[in-house]
C-alpha cells in the first residue's frame, strides 16, 4: 500500500468542516463524525489495555489469550470507522460478531455467573478493561444516534454492542487470571 497522507495538515478543516470518504463535507460535530471520534477514542483506550496485557503476559500466561482475542478488535474498530467515513462501504461481516460471541461464551464459563454488581477496579489492568467497556458503550450510543438519522448496517451495530459485552467479561477474566478480587458494589446504608 502506498503512502496515503502526503501532508498531515491540509487546512481544509479550519472552518469546522471535514470530508467523508464519499467526498461529502460535513460539520465536525455531525453525528457521523462524533461516532467516528468515539470509535477512535475506544481504539486508543483498547491500545492501552493491549499494551498493559502484553506487559503482564510474562507474569500471567493467561494474558496471551486475551491479547489474541482483543488484538484484532483494534483493526475491526478501524474498519468500522471506515464504514462510517464511507457510508456505502461495508467491512465487517457476521463472522466477526460470532467471533466475539464465542469468546464471550468461553470466558463467561470460566468466570462463572455474575452474582453481584461489580465496580471498575481492583487493579489498573482490570480498571482499564472497564474503561474500554464504558467507552465501547459510549461509541455504541453515538452509532445509534447516527443510525436514527442515517441507517447503519446491522452488523456494525451488533459488533459494537458485542464488543462492550466482551470487554466486560474480559475485565472479569483479567481479575480472575491475575488473582485480583473483583470490587463488589456495596449499597449505601438505608437511612
| pLDDT tens-digit readout, 158-172 | 999 999 999 999 999
Where is pLDDT greater, at 184 or 78? 78
State the Rg of the chain over Cα.
19
The torsion defined by the Cα of 115, 118, 123 and 128, in degrees rounded to 10, comes to 120
Chain-centre distance for alpha carbon 142: 13
Angstrom CA distances, 91 to 68, 123, 151, stand at 20, 35, 16
Give the pLDDT of residue 1: 46
Average model confidence (pLDDT) across the chain: 91
Residue 84 pLDDT class (50, 70, 90 cuts): very high
Straight-line distance from the first to the last Cα atom of the chain, in angstroms, rounded to the nearest whole number:
65
Q: Please, are residues 110 and 118 in contact by the beta-carbon 8 Å criterion?
A: no
Percent above pLDDT 70 for the chain: 92
Give the pLDDT of residue 161: 97
Say which CATH topology domain 26-112+120-180 has. Answer: Hypothetical Protein Ta1238; Chain: A; (1.20.1200)
Amino acid at each position: 500500500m502506498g503512502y496515503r497522507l502526503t501532508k498531515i495538515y491540509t487546512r481544509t478543516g479550519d472552518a469546522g468542516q471535514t470530508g467523508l470518504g464519499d467526498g461529502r463535507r460535513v460539520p465536525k460535530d455531525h453525528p457521523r463524525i462524533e461516532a467516528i471520534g468515539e470509535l477512535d477514542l475506544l481504539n486508543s483506550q483498547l491500545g492501552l489495555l493491549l499494551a498493559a496485557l502484553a506487559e503482564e503476559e510474562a507474569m500471567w500466561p493467561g494474558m496471551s489469550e486475551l491479547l489474541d482475542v482483543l488484538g484484532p478488535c483494534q483493526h475491526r474498530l478501524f474498519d468500522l470507522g471506515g464504514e462510517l467515513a464511507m457510508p456505502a462501504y461495508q467491512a465487517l461481516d457476521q463472522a466477526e460478531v460470532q467471533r466475539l460471541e464465542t469468546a464471550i461464551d468461553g470466558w463467561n464459563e470460566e468466570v462463572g455467573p455474575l452474582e453481584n454488581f461489580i465496580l471498575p477496579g481492583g487493579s489498573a489492568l482490570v480498571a482499564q478493561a472497564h474503561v474500554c467497556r464504558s467507552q465501547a458503550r459510549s461509541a455504541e450510543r453515538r452509532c445509534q444516534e447516527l443510525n436514527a438519522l442515517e441507517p447503519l448496517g446491522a452488523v456494525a451495530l451488533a459488533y459494537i454492542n458485542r464488543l462492550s459485552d466482551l470487554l466486560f467479561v474480559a475485565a472479569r477474566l483479567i481479575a480472575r487470571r491475575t488473582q485480583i478480587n473483583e470490587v463488589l458494589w456495596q449499597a449505601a446504608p438505608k437511612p
